[in-house]
Amino acid sequence: MANHKSALKRIRSNETKRLRNKYQHKTTRNAIKNLRELTKKKDAEKLFPSVASMIDKLAKNNIIHDNKAANLKSGLTKHIASL
């Protein structure tokens, strides 16, 4: 168990951040999955900016790596172009 007040606070704040990161990451993964399931190009192009924004926010907050974010966006762009 933690011996310092600051360590106890750090444990609480880490748990809060972990849950927030988990929620944001899962929400983004679901959005990516929904985008990949679309069959109409027009709908996919409409949804892409919001999904790309979600991916960028994850990368900015170090929830995912910058290169993974770029890789995801590139793959989604190629998928939309192939529709």
Instruction: State the pLDDT at residue 3.
Output: 84
The answer to pTM > 0.85 is yes
> What are the residue ranges spanned by the domains of the chain?
40-83
pLDDT in tens, 10-65: 999 999 999 999 999 999 999 999 999 999 999 999 999 999 999 999 999 999 99
The first and second tokens of residue 9, run together, are 């606070």
Long-range contacts of 41-45 (CB under 8 A, 24+ apart): 41/80, 41/83, 44/79, 44/80, 44/83, 45/80
